[in-house]
Amino acid sequence: MLIVRNLSKSYKAGEPILRDVSFELNRGEMAVLTGPSGAGKSTILKMIYREERPDSGEIKLDQYNVTKIRPYQIPRLRRHLGVVFQDFKLLPERTAWENVALALEVAGKSRRQISSRVTELLRLVGLLQRSGNYPHQLSGGECQRVAIARALANQPLLLLADEPTGNLDRENSQSLLELIREINIQGCSVLMATHNVDLLAALPYRKLYLKNGMVTESIE
Amino acid sequence: MRFIFIFIRETIRAITSKYWSFIGSVLTVFLASLLAASFALIIKNTGLAVEKLKAQASIEVYLKADIDSLTQEYLHGNLVANKAILNVKYISKDMALERLKVTFGEDMLSGIVGNPLPASYELTLEPLVYDGDYYQRLVDSIKALPGVDDVGYVPAAVAKLKNVFTIVAVLGFFIGILVILACGFIIGNTIGVSVANRHLTFYVMRLVGASNSFVRIPYLLMGLLIGLIGTVLAMLVLQIGANSFSGTIIPIVSLDSTEVWSFIIAGGLIGLMGSHLALHRYIDL
Q: What is the mean pLDDT of residues B126-132?
A: 63
Helix (H, G, I), strand (E, B) or coil at B77: helix
Residue-range definition of the domain harbouring residue B131: 58-153
CB nearest to A75's CB, from B13, B200, B211:
B211
Last-in-domain residue among B115, B133, B153: B153
**A89 reaches B (C-beta below 8 A):** yes
Q: Which residues of A touch B213 (CB under 8 A)?
A: none
Pair (B170, B120) in one structural domain? no
Residue ranges of A 157-216 with Cβ closer than 8 A to chain B: none
pLDDT band at B157 (very low <50, low <70, confident <90, very high): low
Instruction: Choose between A52 and B55: higher pLDDT.
Output: A52
Q: Which residues of A touch B3 (CB under 8 A)?
A: 108
Write the CB contacts of A129 (distance below 8 Å, at least 6 apart in sequence): none
Pair (B196, B278) in one structural domain? yes
Q: Which residues of B touch A110 (CB under 8 A)?
A: 2
Q: What is residue A121's predicted lDDT score, i.e. its pLDDT? A: 92
Write the CB contacts of A180 (distance below 8 Å, at least 6 apart in sequence): A30, A148, A159, A161, A164, A190, A192
Question: A31 near A192, Cβ under 8 Å?
Answer: yes
- CA atoms of B226 and B241, how far apart (whole Å): 22
pLDDT cut 90: percent of chain A above it: 40
Please check the confidence at residue B261 and state whether its pLDDT lies above 90: yes
How close, in Å, is residue B27 to chain A by CA atoms? 27
Q: Give the N- to C-terminal CA distance of chain B in Å, as an integer.
A: 24
Pair (B13, B89) in one structural domain? no
- CA atoms of B185 and A214, how far apart (whole Å): 49
pLDDT band at A44 (very low <50, low <70, confident <90, very high): very high
- CA atoms of A54 and A62, how far apart (whole Å): 19
Q: What is residue B154's predicted lDDT score, i.e. its pLDDT? A: 63
The string over A160-192, giving b where at least 16 C-beta atoms fall within 10 Å of a residue's C-beta and e elsewhere, is bbbbbbbbbeeebbebbbebbeebbeeebbbbb
Pair (B204, B263) in one structural domain? yes
- CA atoms of B2 and A203, how far apart (whole Å): 43
Pair (B136, B195) in one structural domain? no
> Which CATH number is B129's domain given?
3.30.70.3040
pLDDT band at B128 (very low <50, low <70, confident <90, very high): low
Please check the confidence at residue B233 and state whether its pLDDT lies above 90: yes
Instruction: List the single residue in A with minimal CA-CA distance to B210.
Output: A106
Q: What is residue B51's predicted lDDT score, i.e. its pLDDT? A: 73
A150–B200: do the CB atoms touch at under 8 Å? no
Instruction: Choose between B71 and B10: higher pLDDT.
Output: B71
Please state the ipTM of this predicted complex: 0.85
- Count of structural domains, chain B: 2
Please check the confidence at residue B94 and state whether its pLDDT lies above 80: yes
Q: List, for residues A80-97, the tens digit of each pLDDT value.
A: 999 999 888 999 889 999
Pair (B90, B114) in one structural domain? yes
Work out whether strand B85-91 and strand B120-125 pair parallel, antiparallel, or are unpaired: antiparallel
CB pairs under 8 A between A and B: 51
Sign of CA dihedral A58, A63, A68, A74: negative
Residue ranges of A 41-70 with Cβ closer than 8 A to chain B: 49
Q: What is residue B116's predicted lDDT score, i.e. its pLDDT? A: 83
Instruction: List the single residue in A with minimal CA-CA distance to B207.
Output: A78
Strand partners, A25: A2
Q: What is the mean pLDDT of residues B179-208?
A: 79
The DSSP element (H or E) to which B62 belongs, if any, is: strand B59-63
Write the CB contacts of B70 (distance below 8 Å, at least 6 apart in sequence): none
Stretch among A63-72, A109-118, B17-26 having the lowest mean pLDDT? B17-26
The string over B201-213, giving b where at least 16 C-beta atoms fall within 10 Å of a residue's C-beta and e elsewhere, is bbebbbbbbbbee
How close, in Å, is residue B202 to chain A by CA atoms? 10
pLDDT band at B132 (very low <50, low <70, confident <90, very high): low
pLDDT band at B178 (very low <50, low <70, confident <90, very high): confident
Domain ranges in chain A are: 91-155
- CA atoms of A6 and A20, how far apart (whole Å): 4
Q: Which residues of B touch A111 (CB under 8 A)?
A: 2
Q: What is residue B264's predicted lDDT score, i.e. its pLDDT? A: 92
